[in-house]
Amino acid sequence: MSSRRILILGAQLGLVWALVAIVLMRTPVFQSPENGTWDQRVRSFATPVDVPIVLILIDQYTLDWAKKQKVPWPWPRDMYNYILDFCQGGGARAIAFDITFTDLSQTPEADTSLAKKIATVPRFVGAALLGNKVGDETGWPDYAKPNPFTMKGFDAWQAAHPDSELHAKLGAFSIEEITETTATLGHVRAEKDDTDSYIRQFLPVQVFDGQAVPLLSIAAWLVGQTKAGDAPAPGPYPPIEFEGNQLRIGERSLPMDERGRVLVHYYAPLPGSPYAFKTYAASDIIRSQLAHKAGKEPVIPPEALRDRYVLVGMSAPGLYDIQPTPLEENAPGVEIHANVLANLIRGDRLALAPAVPVGLFIVILSITCGAVASGLATAKWIVLAYTLALPLPILAGIAGYFAGLWWPIVGPMFAATASLTSGVIVNYAMQGRQRRLLRRAFAQYLSPKVIDQVTADISQLRLGGVDRELTMFFTDLEGFSSIAERLNPQQITLLLNECLSEVSQAVFEGDGTLDKYFGDAVVAFWNAPADQPNHAVLAVTAALACQKKLKARKEELLQFTAGLPLNVRAGIHTGVVLVGNLGSPQRFNYSMLGDAANLASRLEGANKAFGTHIMVSKETWDQTGGAFIGREIGRIVVKGRETAVTVYEPLAMKGEAVSIDLEKYNEAMDAVKANRLDEAQAIFETMPSDPVAATYVKYLKSLESQLGWDGVWRLQEK
């Protein structure tokens, strides 16, 4: 199949996945995870605000205080008079109670007292619970005053949105005596999400028996727009107007969905507080009012409420007004009202992203992902496509939040992922046959990493290479020549197979590329063909793994070595070499070439001079970043080079135990560097079991004059 037809097929699959995503977005299958992404956006980007709102909470502290005062719950209704007196005396802009008094109390006088008090507070907003499942009233009660708000355009809007939730059939009101003195009512119905009961939206207004009942916080905002001296009831108020998908209230406009719901713009808690607004315990308000009446210093100065919107509600767990929100699992219901009120004060608004732009975004993204993925030939480009495409829905969702939109993430993410995967499958099915043939053909000659790269990009079969920094790894078997003299060819073959298999396994487990075998030696490298930022760490880890593997099989291998011990020596160096397909057009190998590779080979041989099994250059050691326990061996000049190289011996992974007294050894090395060779020799002599220390002792004793040594070992053997 031609490349063009493959791209078209990928694009067609992308369109199919886009349509599937658009359909699923309207179901709980996608809505539940989408809610989770929205909550995460709110938690990540909500900010604290400074608004004239005060919460007065009947919290657990208040209940405990009242209990000590011999005031049982539920309180006598006249207890709320103290709160109203304090708020009114402090010059509150509006006072709203997120509390319904639906039952007669045991003290009718207290009910009468609260009712009379409410009648004297012109900017008081009472609570009513409206809906279709709760309440006994089927019509507006005769004892309730008409709510002072008017509507425009509701009937037309309701006819165009038959699934709207704004029309309430049932209502629950406070007792008759209290309701008849309440000039303004606001509804307190919580709009819990269908999938998880979190409160992310609210009904801005409900219509009950022809009466417009705004949300409690919206009613408080409207009442607060009037002048302080208005009585007995503030007003008139601007009408509540339905215009398209907007609800206009005065100078504010709220975007509604088809059900009439509006998104809550939540704010982060104030510093040092669990709440987003200034909050007082109801007990402190009551104590302050009592102190004020007695001529004493109040706990809270009344001026703290001046020109503030005051919302009174409950936060004690036992009072059952705790609601889950995107910011908090256990938020007081009145705090949700406070967030809505702050939205109105600040003019902040959130809306669901329009369906048409969202649909176009999904279609374009999905078609593009399907077409692009179907044309990608290499794994790195496929990974890049996923890396670039999948963050786009997330970035769009974040940008939408700051633009005041709930832009969906889950639907676009699903469409992009499915389209990319479909495109990759199409590519694999249509173009993968040739790659599979090549994989089988080269499986016996190339390392798994190289095979993956070659089969992903066939152009690599051409001759050529690139300069690249690698960490190179050379090993051989210590004393293998002596052992081989005692074995027949079959035994030598078995021994080599066992040892080389262990070394190769360590290389592959460390994601290395196996270059070649020659005799008992193994050559490998890291950072090609795949990028490996930690290539030095991987190489040293593989070297330590070789030692552990052969040590674990020490007893088993003695039967192959005629009883002689067998160890692996490794030399490791990091440097720039030529790496690629080297050879002739008839036969080539993925390998490396350069002076840095020669140095790694020489370091393997340099182990013999010091009795070590792993030697790494400073260039490698510096890139391991402290991942290993090791020590500096010294500065050496290997045969065939003139420049000295500082070399190290890795002993173990960081955190593992070592048998060498590194503190004493490092003290001796410091003396060597300071040319205090007598002192260094004396310390090294206390470490007879350490082969490096023993080598230093032997060499220092052999010097005719220690003053003439520059600290550089000049090795004469490879």
The pLDDT score that the predictor gives to residue 540 is 97
Q: How many CB atoms lie within 10 A of CB 624?
A: 22
The pLDDT score that the predictor gives to residue 470 is 96
The pLDDT score that the predictor gives to residue 341 is 97
The pLDDT score that the predictor gives to residue 439 is 63
The pLDDT score that the predictor gives to residue 380 is 83
The pLDDT score that the predictor gives to residue 230 is 47
Q: Do the beta carbons of residue 248 and residue 262 sit within 8 Å? A: no
Alpha-carbon torsion 436, 440, 441, 444, what sign? Answer: positive
Q: Do the beta carbons of residue 241 and residue 151 sit within 8 Å? A: yes
The pLDDT score that the predictor gives to residue 189 is 85
Cα separations (Å) of 292 from 72, 80, 91, 302, 388? 24, 16, 15, 9, 65
Query: DSSP string spanning 551-588?
Result: HHTHHHHTTTTTT---EEEEEEEEEEEEEEEEE-SSSE
Query: DSSP string spanning 281-347?
Result: EHHHHHHHHHHHHTTS--SS-GGGGTT-EEEEEE--GGGS-EE--SS-TTEEHHHHHHHHHHHHHHT
Cα 709 from Cα 428, distance rounded (Å)? 65
Q: List, for residues 243-289, the tens digit of each pLDDT value.
A: 989 999 988 999 999 999 999 999 999 999 999 999 999 999 999 99
Specify the DSSP class assigned to residue 460.
G
The pLDDT score that the predictor gives to residue 336 is 96
The pLDDT score that the predictor gives to residue 377 is 66
The pLDDT score that the predictor gives to residue 450 is 59
- Token pair 């160096």 is found at 573
The pLDDT score that the predictor gives to residue 703 is 83
Q: Which residues of the chain have pLDDT under 70?
A: 1-3, 227-235, 377, 431-451, 453-464, 562, 583-588, 704-708, 718
- Residue among 376, 359, 363, 360 at smallest CA distance from 11: 363
Q: In degrees, to the nearest 5, what angle opens at C-alpha 462 toward C-alphas 371 and 529?
A: 70
Q: Do the beta carbons of residue 471 and residue 620 sit within 8 Å? A: yes
232 cis-preceded (ω within 30 degrees of 0)? yes
- b/e burial code for range 468-504 (CB count within 10 A of at least 16 → b): bbbbbbbbbbbebeebbeeeeeebbeebbeebbebbb
The pLDDT score that the predictor gives to residue 424 is 87
pTM: 0.62
The pLDDT score that the predictor gives to residue 232 is 47
632 beta partners: 648
Q: In degrees, to the nearest 5, what angle opens at C-alpha 267 toward C-alphas 264 and 268?
A: 145
Amino acid sitting at position 470: L
The pLDDT score that the predictor gives to residue 444 is 44
In the chain the first and final C-alpha atoms are separated, in Å, by 57
| Residue 4 CB partners (closer than 8 Å, separation 6+) | none
Alpha-carbon torsion 355, 359, 360, 365, what sign? Answer: positive
The pLDDT score that the predictor gives to residue 453 is 62
